[in-house]
């Protein structure tokens, strides 16, 4: 888990550094950090009811994300309405980082 943890921290810092470097050129850089999401990739995890229940119990919202909920975070950052947002990481994880 250590490699996973520090790779997430590195991605957050890379996002901040790239945002600062590219902002003068009108390029915004932000990141979305999804929590455990019901996708084909994670199906071996969530398809087991016992494991899915255990993982959901560790998420303050009490469930895994649906793909559309992650897409919503990306769509929030994409339009001109968010054109003064850069260098931020949004975690669509049901509050898992708050625990």
- What is the pLDDT at residue 3? 84
1 or 79, which is more confident: 79
Task: Say which of 4, 6, 25, 91 is annotated catalytic.
Answer: 4
CATH number at residue 12: 3.40.50.720
- What integer pLDDT is reported at residue 1 of this predicted model? 66
| Domain encompassing residue 72 | 2-98
Q: Two tokens at 74?
A: 């990306």
Give CA–CA dist 56/92, Å, rounded: 14
- The DSSP H or E segment spanning 13 is helix 2-22
Closest CA to 65 of 16, 32, 20: 32
Asked if the model's pLDDT at residue 8 lies above 90, the reply is no
What is the number of domains present in the chain? Answer: 1
Those residues with Cβ within 8 angstroms of residue 70's Cβ, 6 or more apart along the chain or in another chain: 32, 34, 37, 92
Of the chain, the percentage scoring pLDDT greater than 70 comes to 98
31-66 per-position pLDDT tens digit: 999 999 999 999 999 999 999 999 999 999 999 999
pTM of the model: 0.82
Q: What is the per-residue pLDDT for 99? A: 60
Task: Classify residue 64 as exposed, middle or buried by CB count within 10 Å of its CB (0-12, 13-18, 19+).
Answer: buried
User: Does the annotation count 25 as an active-site position?
Assistant: no
Q: What is the DSSP letter of 30?
A: -
Bridge partners of 65, per DSSP, are 37
């Amino acid at each position: 888990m250590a490699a996973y943890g520090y790779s997430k921290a590195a991605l957050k810092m890379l996002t901040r550094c790239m945002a600062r470097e590219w902002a003068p050129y009108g390029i915004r850089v932000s990141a979305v950090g999804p929590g455990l999401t019901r996708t084909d990739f994670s199906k071996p995890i969530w398809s087991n009811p016992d494991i899915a229940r255990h993982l959901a119990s560790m998420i303050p919202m009490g469930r895994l994300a649906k793909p559309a909920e992650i897409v919503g975070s990306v769509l929030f950052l994409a339009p001109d309405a968010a054109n003064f947002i850069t260098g931020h990481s949004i975690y669509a994880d049901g509050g898992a980082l708050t625990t």
